[in-house]
Amino acid sequence: MSAIDPIRYARIARKVRGMPASDGAGVKLTRVIGSGELPDLDPFLLLDEFGTDKAEDYLAGFPEHPHRGFETVTYMLDGRMRHRDNHGNEGLLVPGSVQWMTAGRGLVHSEMPEQQEGRMRGFQLWVNLPAKDKMTDPRYQEFPPEQLPVATPAEGVTIKVIAGEVGDVRGPISQPATDPVYLDIELAPGVAWSHALPEGHNAFAYAFEGALTLGEGDDARPLAAQEMAVLGGGDMLSLKAGDAGARLILVAGRPLREPVARYGPFVMNTKQEIMQAFVDFQEGRF
Ligand code: MN
């Protein structure tokens, strides 16, 4: 054994651009994980970016629909979304808020815009649950912007810590099954920053403003807004913003390495469990 392990830098193993998609009652969005190009990135099942100034692209919202077997994470950047479920939970997601919803054995909910005009922007991420937790009770971890800690580890680096840690700053989300990291990172023009990710996690970075370079030395590659980098090669992430600065989400999670049986809003381990989800939903057991 060597006394000092060499730093292994992450590189862009693969670049993915989202595909235009429509969901709910006709909301226009960009699907980055969960479609043909990248069906999943264990434990992540889906990543949608929604962002539009046109009310007709979002007004129809996401009327009542079920979920079972995984978690949905909504991070609002602009706009307001009201959610309601069949267990009596209700809340309003305002700009900068996060809802980490563990659907578990099932719920039926709606997610509807609470505005008639203006900008709607944000992300929805689906995180899988291990077999042992798929039928757990539904649970919400919901935080308004003032309860999300902000880390400033260096000059020109501002990070909203939703899950995981940056230095002494710890995000409020708890999920031992996948031990997630979810950071909203803003870099001022030309600023560089490095961050160690948990070893063995799958990770991606999705740029949504400006542009940056990811990786070190010969492995440094550009990443532009609306591009996602699937990370590989090492756990030390090195970022450098371009001349206009950059903003990105960095997301990582421990892979579950379990079989995935998936149909629409149900994600289980076997086809039989999917069929049972249909029966339970139709018979009102959600
Ligand atoms: Mn939903």
Query: 204 with 197: CB under 8 angstroms?
Result: no
- Write the DSSP string, 150-173: EEEEETTEEEEEEESEETTEE-S-
Domain spans of the chain, in order of start:
11-282
Residue 128 tokens read as 């899988």
CA of 119 to the centre of ligand 1 (A): 20
For residue 207, report the distance from its CA to the centre of ligand 1, in Å: 24
Q: H/E/C letters for each residue in 196-220?
A: ECCCCCEEEEEEEEEEEEECCHHHC
Residue ranges, the chain, pLDDT below 70: 1-3
Going from the Cα of 109 to the center of ligand 1, the distance in angstroms, rounded, reads 6
241 alpha carbon – ligand 1 mean position (Å): 34
47-84 in b/e form (b: 16+ CB < 10 A) is: bbbbbbeeeebbbebbeebbbbbbbbbbbbbbbbbebe
Instruction: Return d(Cα 143, Cα 230) in angstroms, integer.
Output: 27
Residue type, 168: D
The Å distance, Cα 247 to ligand 1 centre, comes to: 26
**Length of the chain, in residues:** 286
- The model's pTM is 0.97
List, for residues 173-216, the tens digit of each pLDDT value: 999 999 999 999 999 999 999 999 999 999 999 999 999 999 99
DSSP annotation of 56 reads: G
Residue type, 115: Q
Pick the CATH number of 11-282 from 2.60.120.10, 3.50.50.60, 3.30.470.20, 3.40.50.2300: 2.60.120.10
Check if the beta carbon of residue 219 is closer than 8 Å to that of residue 1.
no
Instruction: List pLDDT tens digits, range 54-92.
Output: 999 999 999 999 999 999 999 999 999 999 999 999 999
232 CA to middle of ligand 1, Å?
A: 30
Distance from the CA of 53 to the center of ligand 1, in angstroms?
A: 22
Q: How far is the CA of 100 from the centre of ligand 1 (A)?
A: 11
Residues 218, 81: Cα–Cα separation, whole Å: 43
